[in-house]
Amino acid sequence: MKVGESWKTSEVDTVKQSGLDIIVNMEITNTFSGVETIDGVECSKIISKIAGMLEGSGSQMGAEVYFEGDTDGTSTWYFAFKEGRLLKSETEMLMEGTATVSGAQNMTIPITQETKVSLKSVK
């Protein structure tokens, strides 16, 4: 693989919780950024751009709830290719959307969720 080459993947996650069903569809563009040494280990550095949307619905306490929104983010991961293992990854995601509630009270609630995740492998 050459520096700058990329490939796309898709992911669908389903969350079922407390009477709600939410589906998140993501399109991910992964780009090989080169080789870096992390903690003395040569690693392939991959930068992933993530874009997606979420939608869902359900019932809570007698009210119908509908969700919709968009999500985007970036993930950088380091794969120790000689050892065949993921050494480290860092991900930042932002989701913005709305929850619309119908029933005795009709309302639209804005939703913003920012997520940062760091992982590091230990031998």
Q: What is the pLDDT of residues 96-119, one digit of tens each?
A: 999 999 977 789 999 999 999 999
Q: Give the distance from CA 61 to its chain's centroid.
A: 29
What is the pLDDT of the chain when averaged over all its residues? 93
In Å, what is the CA distance from 10 to each residue of 19, 53, 89?
26, 12, 19
Residue 20 has a pLDDT of 87
Say which amino acid occupies 72: D
Residue 11 has a pLDDT of 94
Domain boundaries, the chain: 6-120
In Å, what is the CA distance from 70 to each residue of 10, 58, 93, 113?
15, 19, 11, 11
What is the rounded distance in angstroms from the CA atom of residue 109 to the CA atom of residue 86?
39
Coil, strand or helix at 22: strand
* pLDDT category of residue 88 using cuts at 50, 70 and 90: very high
